[in-house]
Amino acid sequence: MAHLLMVESWVGSMSRLLPRAIREGGHEFTFLTRDLHHYLRTAPEGATHPLLGARNVLTADTNDIDTLLPQVERLHQVLRFDGVITSCDYYLPTVARIAARLGLPGPSPRAVEDACRKDATRRVLADAGVPGPRFAVHEERADLARAAREIGYPLVVKPVDLCAGMYVRRVDDEEQLAAAVRMLTDFPVNARGQRRAPVVLLEELLDGPEVSVETVSHAGAVHVVGVTDKSIAGAPAFIETGHMFPAALSAADTEAAERTALAALKALGLTDGVVAHTEIKLTSAGPRVVEVNPRPAGNRITELVRHVTGIDLAAAFVEVSLGSEPDLRGGDTGLRSAAIGFLVPETSGTLDSLDGVELGDAPGVLEVRLAEPGKPVTAAGSNNEYLGHVMAGDTEGLGARARVEALLGGLRAGLVIR
């Protein structure tokens, strides 16, 4: 039995999947957070809170790395950790620093920091010749306006240190650029109380479908688990409305996406102790890297993978964080594809009605989770405002996405927001 230190977490699906994977692997974990109430106020209804499975729940200022490192060293002397882990993007660099300080398994802190900073990722990949969009990084509005004219509209405005598509916007002219930059300026601190970098990333708007490559790295070798496709809506925002695994691609496009993702991981140095989710655009000019996430995919993609292949990416994440070889054998699950679709609100108000009780009995449905009437609703501007999701599988082929879309169509017809 190994003992992991879990530093913070998301409060979504991975907050349940990761503790479950630790427990099913025969291990235990100590949870470390700066704000326990952040998790308690989002306790899942009708289920045991995942933190109840922790050996210890401790508090410390996880945003102050200089104070945190010696504190964790003292904890390590008493509790003896075998690995460090987190499912929260904002604490991946912290975990890498802790692992290095304690001499525990994990990728280099520099590699993780470069992957978690979108501007650093762009520079590293460009220097290595890994294809990506034309880009520029600036803080001052005059510099941004000049760089935008050089890249050419339309383009994409991004924060360098947020996730879930927050404040990522398409802009078509200088007026829209100024508005997007103002929105970012008005959001100086992220949801975890960390002050954001003031710089803004501008990128060429890429054409073509977007996919993600799911990989597991151990001992210098990177194993490709598969490629997931995704649907995007909500312009000028970029909101993920659904995914299917495996992606409905030609063999050539699949190979090109995988090859590009592997090149990106190698360039960043993420070849050991990492489960990664690398997003790729299959443009008319070839594959281009959107971003590299040095953690398992969110939005239930890990569950799509498990339903189709039998490979548990959360469990693999636990094992590589302990320096152990992950079990990636999988097996025949009976499904040839699995998809998820999200109910994305287009207006704000209060959820009046959403009837999906019968969906759980529909053919092929794997999972249904819907918001309850009375929930305050915000028109979606990122991946954080979903009103629920439907997941379904197909035993014959790549029909899971069509099945999910049909089910979501029925849900939308009964959705009332007042």
Closest to 25 (Cα-Cα) out of 324, 365, 388, 416:
324
- What distance in Å separates the CA atoms of residue 218 and residue 24, rounded to the nearest whole number? 20
Per-residue model confidence (pLDDT) at position 46: 59
* Angle at 398 (CA atoms; ends 397, 403), nearest 5 degrees: 110
Q: Which residues of the chain have pLDDT under 70?
A: 42-46, 356-357
Per-residue model confidence (pLDDT) at position 179: 97
- What distance in Å separates the CA atoms of residue 95 and residue 91, rounded to the nearest whole number? 6
Look up tokens 């971003």; give the residue.
291
Per-residue model confidence (pLDDT) at position 72: 98
- What distance in Å separates the CA atoms of residue 155 and residue 147, rounded to the nearest whole number? 11
Per-residue model confidence (pLDDT) at position 14: 85
Cβ burial 133-165 (10 Å sphere, 16+ → b, else e)? bbbbbbeeeeebbebbeebeeebbbbbbbbbbb
Strand, helix or coil at 259? helix
Whole-angstrom CA distances from 259 to 125, 231, 361, 381 are: 14, 22, 40, 32
Q: Domains plus CATH for the chain?
A: 3-104 (3.40.50.20), 133-204 (3.30.1490.20), 210-417 (3.30.470.20)
Per-residue model confidence (pLDDT) at position 312: 97
Burial bucket for residue 256 (CB in 10 Å: 0-12, 13-18, 19+): middle
Q: Name every residue whose Cβ is closer than 8 Å to that of residue 383 and which is 6 or more positions away in sequence.
A: 164, 165, 239, 240, 298, 299, 342
Per-residue model confidence (pLDDT) at position 225: 98
